[in-house]
A and B are shown apart, each in its own frame.
Chain A
Amino acid sequence: MPGSTSEVTTLFFTSTVITLLLVVCLVLFVVVYQRKLLAQQSRLKAAEHRYQIDLLKSSIATQEEERSRIAKDLHDDIGVTLLAVKLHLQQFARKVPHDSLYQEFVDEARKLLDDSIHNVRSVAANLMPSSLEKWGLIPALKDLIQTISQTSGPDIQLQFQGEELSGLSKETAVALYRMVKELLTNSLKHAGAQIIRIVLKQSSDGLLLQYSDDGKGFDSQRKYKGAGLRNIRSRVLMMNGEVRFDSTPGEGLDVWIHIPVSNHIPL
């Protein structure tokens, strides 16, 4: 048949080319599919991470709201009631003869009331220090350090570098306060530190908190089970910040916390 060999060859060639093209298309399909799958998995992971952060923020916000409410109730309700009782007692004391048996009872009652009023104020301050709400972070930290220094005796130094702390949201201030308090508690209760340094630096890209003590330290490379340091990590994570613990047994503790400036936003 004229031309039949070339036609057969063309047919053979065409079939081979089509087959090879199909193989290439299949390979491309697999590659594109795997890429899309990876992208989808990344998106899911990011969404899960965002959800965890939101959950954490919500949980901490609720906790702080509750603490604030309880502190207010303690101070405004129970505290005021106890003061009223004290005033009534003082009035009663004026009517009782000075050397009578009742006087001893009144003195004892007054002492108990004073202790109760002090305890209520102390609990309320622990839950939500009024100086933090009224005056801000630095005054609240100064009050805290003064209270601790009066009872325990370590040398605690607070330094603030930079301009006056501005644009700091209440939630960030509370979080920083709680973190410093947690670190101080650890240094005093567990590490037995005698010298503690706290430095706060504000710059254009955020806030830096540096904490160091001369306590007995711990192995920061190992996973620690203490809830305190985990809480600090959670709070820093919630603010999209970074935290680093640097400690070795017998060498004290260094903590470095950076909160980016964009995160001075309310929860």
Chain B
Amino acid sequence: MGVFVVLLPLVVAVFRYRNLSGSQRWLVLMLAIVATNQLLAKGLIYFFHINNLPFFHLYIAVESFFLLWLFRYELSWRLKERWLKAGGLIMVGLVLINGLWVQPFTEFPSNIRALESVVIIGLCLLYFYFTLEKLSAVKLEQSFMFWLSSGLVLYFGGNLMLFIFSNYVGEQEREVFIQIWTIHSVLNIILYTMYAIALLCRDPHQK
């Protein structure tokens, strides 16, 4: 189910592509790459029974890079763009360093995933704070960034403990492992549903 949920926002994007703003299209690009990545990862394990965790390292690199660049668009009126641009590149570098020297590519990258969670949660909280200060969106329920940030903060916030202790959880019995990762699945579904809602929001600057 978690695999197919990524299709939901992509389907929305297909129908609304002409009316999407720059930030929304950036999100769609990220989701397209993520979907391809997941497809390849599933294919690898299903057909060749090979450890597909390297794809998860790639997934983290892509996700953190795209999200940081997306926040660069939306928070440029309060944060220096170059910090967030640099942040995106640094995260990609850290994924590589982590995979090469700390936690191999065949192992779950709990360190970098936890770091990514903290960074994304921080950016989302900044967005909420700046929005409360500026009161820029008249209808919050029609704001792309509101839905995106809410989904990200719920997903990464709810899964933070899981990511930190993921390797420990991986050593548990299969049933326990599945129960724990059910939290992740539920939050993953919420995240992608919120991505879909975010893509349905109209750009306030578009006619």
Q: Which A residues contact B (CB, under 8 angstroms)?
A: 1, 4-5, 7-8, 11-12, 14-16, 18-19, 22-23, 26, 29-30, 32-34, 36-37, 40
Contact = CB atoms under 8 A, between A and B. Distances in A.
Contacts of A7: 168
Given A22-B154, A22-B157, A33-B131, A15 B176 contact: no
Interface in B160-176: 160-162, 165, 168-169, 171-172, 176
A12 B162 CA distance: 8
A110 B14 CA distance: 93
A11 B169 contact: yes
19 contacts: A4-B172, A8-B172, A11-B165, A11-B169, A12-B179, A14-B161, A15-B159, A15-B160, A18-B157, A18-B160, A18-B161, A19-B158, A22-B153, A22-B154, A22-B158, A23-B154, A30-B140, A33-B132, A37-B138
Nearest to B182: A12
A18 B161 CA distance: 9
A8 B140 contact: no
B1 interface: no
B180 interface: yes
A37 B139 CA distance: 10
B150 to A, nearest CB: 5
B187 interface: yes
Nearest to B128: A29
Interface of B: 128, 131-132, 135, 138, 140, 150, 153-154, 157-162, 165, 168-169, 171-172, 176, 179-180, 183, 187
Nearest to A8: B176
A30 B147 CA distance: 11
Contacts of A8: 169, 172, 176, 180
Contacts of A22: 153-154, 157-158
A226 to B, nearest CB: 38
A18 B180 contact: no
Contacts of B153: 22, 26
A38 to B, nearest CB: 10
B140 A34 contact: yes
A212 B14 CA distance: 71
Contacts of A29: 128, 132
Nearest to B183: A15
Contacts of B161: 11, 14-15, 18
A12 B132 contact: no
A23 B176 CA distance: 25
Nearest to A39: B135
A40 B135 contact: yes
A18 B155 CA distance: 11
A12 B187 CA distance: 13
A88 to B, nearest CB: 74
B158 A33 contact: no
Contacts of B135: 33, 36-37, 40
B179 A26 contact: no
Given A8-B172, A19-B187, A22-B157, 15 more contacts: A1-B171, A5-B176, A7-B168, A11-B161, A18-B157, A19-B157, A19-B158, A22-B158, A29-B128, A32-B132, A33-B131, A33-B140, A34-B140, A36-B135, A37-B138
Contact of A16 (B150, B160, B176, B183): B183
A1 B172 CA distance: 9
A11 B169 CA distance: 9
Contacts of A30: 140
